[in-house]
């Protein structure tokens, strides 16, 4: 969850590079921030709160260094405070460490260190690392050996970077938390994610679990856990730093909502054969059609997985979607010819990685559906399909969800192709999809603003749908609660009468997603009448096929399209509703409280 940046080789601008990297990583955590730089001795600044607090501290107390490390925190052990902010040091200030992840055996290590006389000043699990390193330095080991020996004592997930007074080097490693090496012409970087250093280099090395890296002004070296040198591949990132900026939008989320037509075109590029009416996904060419499918995912990706499972079942392939955090602790039976698909935007979601590894341990073939080339999921799974939506910075996922739905539609057509007529209709609708999304973005704002003004004082908000629209209703509620902080719940529409109707009042508007004229859509009309009979205002998100507007108080329109894709267009409307309501309520849209973009802890 936290963000790490490190830099060596830019002695005149180390602090500026670290602050720039932290700014690019704030989506990973913004409870506190800090940096440590070295010019012989170590110099540290860290502050609770957002990055501007750290900048103000540095303006008041400037510091310089020829290399350094930085960190932006999402709190796990201990509340946000100056003391709990990273970097953490040993008592003498010889070692400074930044950390992403959770050290599971930290309490045992802390008890041991305190028994030896170490005094701790924070509540964090991270602080055991500099104390361990210092103890090995005291025993006569050099800085590199002290780092390696300290790491060998750790259990859990971590990306670590450390500097030592008097040692012109940065030592780092990873285990189940992401860490990327950036290779410049005469400078070198580390980051939890590529945007941390993208303005300086696009050449990267994706570190594997158990690997360590040492950065020095004259070069870098990657080693295995036993210290033996490795020769890793350097990759060139295709996107550039400009793509990770706001491009004139007020928020990353709004920018990424409006990037959806482009993202969808990227997702579909080269994967449709309009003349033949076929879907062609080259990276799946070596994957045999499965007899059964299990999805594992979390949050927004779980909603995409529900959609994908529905599509597989409709194509005649038994499929289930599981919450990854539950799956890994009780793996369901896996039969021969069963495919386990992990849906994860970042490819680093800890629960999803754990579930995929558990599935592999039970003999399953695995497929990652992810956005990030070089991510852990992409490297560890037997197969990978990239959603190709480009970098997403906003904590609330938008364009990646849309691209996941399209990718899963392509996946189903590749592995369980339907009749020529069905597939041709889908291909034609997919060709028109980006334009249809653009039309929603062009026309939606007046209706959404009117709706927000009318409903902003409501007590709670419900979202309902059936079939393909049920996952979109769940996602609409999640987006709404994430960034507005208002109470919102999503339900498959048929479940209202099994309990949630008890909460319906005149102050609980219901967003009903109704697209097409399928049996699920027709049944949703009955659910709309149920809530209207109890006084709740109804907002229909609809293509108008069933004339649901006749039974609604407000309407958000979407173009008519091929069945499953209408859900995606409805989702765009719900994204705009969440954004505009949050903006109306003056919420920190890109930095929703207690949340971070990439959830790298279980």
pLDDT tens digits for 256-274?
Answer: 999 999 999 999 999 998 8
What is residue 126's DSSP assignment? Answer: T
pLDDT score at 242: 59
pLDDT score at 390: 86
**Among positive and negative, which fits the CA dihedral 78, 588, 539, 558?**
negative
- The residues that bridge with 514 in the sheet, in sequence order, are 542
Of the residues 191, 220, 242, the one at which a domain ends: 242
pLDDT tens digits for 17-43?
Answer: 999 999 888 777 778 899 999 988 999
Mean of pLDDT values over 526-551: 89
| Whether residue 105 sits in one domain with residue 181 | yes
| Whether residue 201 sits in one domain with residue 91 | yes
CATH number at residue 66: 3.60.20.10
597 is catalytic: yes
pLDDT tens digits for 119-131?
Answer: 999 989 999 999 9
Residue 525's CB is within 10 A of a number of other CB atoms, namely: 18
Give CA 376 to chain center in angstroms: 13
| Whether residue 186 sits in one domain with residue 315 | no
Rounded Cα distance between 495 and 396, Å, is: 26
Mean of pLDDT values over 209-214: 94
Catalytic residue among 2, 267, 298, 381: 2
pLDDT score at 67: 94
| Whether residue 602 sits in one domain with residue 539 | yes
Of the residues 416, 438, 460, the one at which a domain ends: 438
Mean of pLDDT values over 184-205: 91
418 pLDDT band, cuts 50/70/90, is low
| Whether residue 176 sits in one domain with residue 115 | yes
Residue 570 near residue 558, CB atoms below 8 Å: yes
CA distances from 75 to 63, 95, 128, 140, 539 (A): 26, 22, 16, 34, 37
Through-space distance between the first and last CA atoms of the chain, rounded to whole angstroms:
10
Q: Is the peptide bond before 544 cis (omega within 30 degrees of 0)?
A: no
What does the mean pLDDT of the chain come to? 91
pLDDT tens digits for 335-368?
Answer: 888 999 999 999 989 899 999 999 999 999 999 9
Rounded Cα distance between 337 and 291, Å, is: 5
pLDDT tens digits for 82-137?
Answer: 899 999 999 999 999 999 888 989 999 999 999 999 999 998 999 999 999 999 99
Residue 346 sits in which domain range?
A: 245-438
CA distances from 438 to 444, 490, 516, 556 (A): 10, 26, 20, 15
Q: Is the pTM of this model over 0.95?
A: no
Cβ neighbours of residue 576 closer than 8 Å, sequence gap 6 or more: 257, 441, 444, 445, 448
| Whether residue 492 sits in one domain with residue 409 | no
| Whether residue 203 sits in one domain with residue 160 | yes
Using DSSP's 3-state secondary structure scheme, residue 225 falls into: coil
| Whether residue 300 sits in one domain with residue 393 | yes
Residue 117's CB is within 10 A of a number of other CB atoms, namely: 7
| Whether residue 460 sits in one domain with residue 414 | no
Q: How many CA atoms lie within 13 A of 281 on its CB side?
A: 27
- Flag whether pLDDT at 563 surpasses 80: no
SS3 of 53-113: the string is HHHHHHHHCCCCCCEEEEEEECCCCCCCCCCCCCCEECCCCCEEEEEEEEECCHHHHHHHH
| Whether residue 533 sits in one domain with residue 391 | no
| Whether residue 269 sits in one domain with residue 154 | no
CATH number at residue 383: 3.40.50.10490
Radius of gyration of the chain (CA): 25
Q: How many CA atoms lie within 13 A of 399 on its CB side?
A: 28
298 is catalytic: no
Rounded Cα distance between 296 and 508, Å, is: 32
533 pLDDT band, cuts 50/70/90, is confident
601 pLDDT band, cuts 50/70/90, is low
- Work out the angle at residue 333's Cα, subtended by the Cα atoms of residues 330 and 339, and round it to the nearest 5 degrees: 105
Sheet strands side by side (includes 510-514): 488-492, 461-465, 510-514, 538-542, 554-557
Query: Count of domains in the chain?
Result: 3
Of the residues 204, 227, 242, the one at which a domain ends: 242
CA distances from 463 to 58, 402, 408, 449, 472 (A): 46, 18, 23, 18, 9
Residue 337's CB is within 10 A of a number of other CB atoms, namely: 10
Phi, psi of 468 (to 5 degrees): -65, -25
Catalytic residue among 255, 399, 481, 597: 597
Among 175-184, 291-300, 589-598, where is mean pLDDT lowest?
589-598
| Whether residue 221 sits in one domain with residue 299 | no
Rounded Cα distance between 60 and 77, Å, is: 29
- The tokens describing 407, both together, are 């990718």
């Amino acid at each position: 969850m936290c963000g790490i940046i490190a830099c060596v080789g830019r002695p005149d601008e180390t602090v500026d590079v670290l602050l720039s990297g932290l700014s690019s990583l704030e989506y990973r955590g913004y409870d506190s921030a800090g940096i440590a730089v070295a010019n012989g001795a170590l110099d540290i600044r860290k502050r609770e709160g957002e990055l501007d607090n750290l900048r103000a501290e540095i303006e008041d107390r400037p510091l310089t260094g020829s290399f350094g490390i930085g960190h932006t925190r999402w709190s796990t052990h201990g509340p946000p405070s100056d003391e709990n902010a990273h970097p953490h040091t040993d008592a003498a200030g010889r070692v400074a460490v930044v950390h992403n992840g959770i050290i599971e055996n930290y309490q045992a290590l802390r008890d041991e260190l305190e028994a030896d006389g170490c005094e701790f000043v924070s509540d964090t699990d991270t602080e055991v690392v500099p104390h361990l390193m210092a103890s090995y330095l005291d025993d006569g080991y050099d800085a590199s050996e002290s780092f390696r020996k300290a790491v060998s004592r750790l259990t859990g997930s971590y990306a670590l970077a450390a500097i030592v007074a008097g040692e012109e080097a940065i030592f780092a490693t990873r285990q189940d938390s992401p860490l990327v090496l950036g290779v410049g012409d005469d400078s070198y970087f580390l980051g939890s994610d590529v945007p941390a250093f993208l303005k300086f280099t696009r050449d990267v090395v994706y570190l594997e679990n158990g690997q360590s890296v040492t950065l020095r002004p004259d070069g870098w070296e990657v080693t295995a856990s036993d210290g033996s040198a490795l020769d890793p591949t350097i990759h060139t990132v295709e996107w550039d730093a400009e793509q990770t900026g706001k491009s004139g939008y007020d928020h990353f989320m709004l920018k990424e909502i409006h990037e959806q037509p482009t993202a969808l075109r990227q997702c579909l590029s080269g994967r449709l054969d309009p003349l033949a009416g076929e879907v062609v996904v080259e990276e799946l060419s070596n994957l045999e059609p499965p007899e059964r499918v299990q999805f594992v995912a979390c949050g927004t990706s779980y909603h995409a997985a529900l959609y994908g499972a529905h599509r597989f079942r409709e194509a005649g392939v038994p499929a289930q979607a599981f919450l990854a955090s539950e799956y890994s602790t009780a793996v369901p039976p896996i039969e021969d010819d069963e495919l386990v698909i992990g849906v994860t935007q970042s490819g680093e979601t800890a629960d999803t990685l754990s579930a995929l590894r558990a599935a592999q341990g039970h003999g399953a073939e695995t497929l990652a559906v992810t956005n990030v080339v070089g991510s852990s999921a992409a490297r560890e799974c037997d197969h990978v399909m990239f959603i190709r939506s480009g970098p997403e910075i906003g904590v609330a996922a938008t364009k990646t969800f849309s691209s996941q739905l399209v990718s899963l539609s392509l996946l189903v057509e590749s592995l369980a192709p339907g009749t020529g007529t069905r597939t041709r209709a889908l291909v034609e609708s997919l060709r028109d999809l980006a334009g249809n999304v653009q039309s929603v973005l062009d026309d939606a704002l007046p209706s959404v603003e009117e709706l927000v003004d009318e409903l902003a004082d409501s007590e709670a908000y419900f979202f309902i749908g059936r079939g393909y629209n049920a996952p979109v209703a769940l996602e609409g509620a999640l987006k709404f609660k994430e960034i507005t902080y208002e109470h919102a719940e999503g339900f498959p529409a048929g479940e209202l009468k099994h309990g949630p109707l008890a909460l319906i009042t005149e102050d609980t508007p219901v967003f009903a997603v109704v697209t097409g004229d399928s049996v699920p859509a027709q049944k949703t009309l009955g659910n709309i009448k149920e809530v209207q009979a109890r006084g709740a205002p109804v907002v229909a998100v609809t293509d108008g096929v069933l004339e649901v507007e006749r039974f609604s108080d407000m309407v958000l329109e979407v173009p008519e399209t091929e069945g499953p894709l209408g859900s995606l267009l409805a989702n765009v409307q719900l994204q705009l509703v969440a954004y505009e309501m949050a903006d109306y309520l003056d919420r920190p849209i890109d930095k929703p409280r207690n949340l971070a973009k990439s959830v790298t802890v279980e």
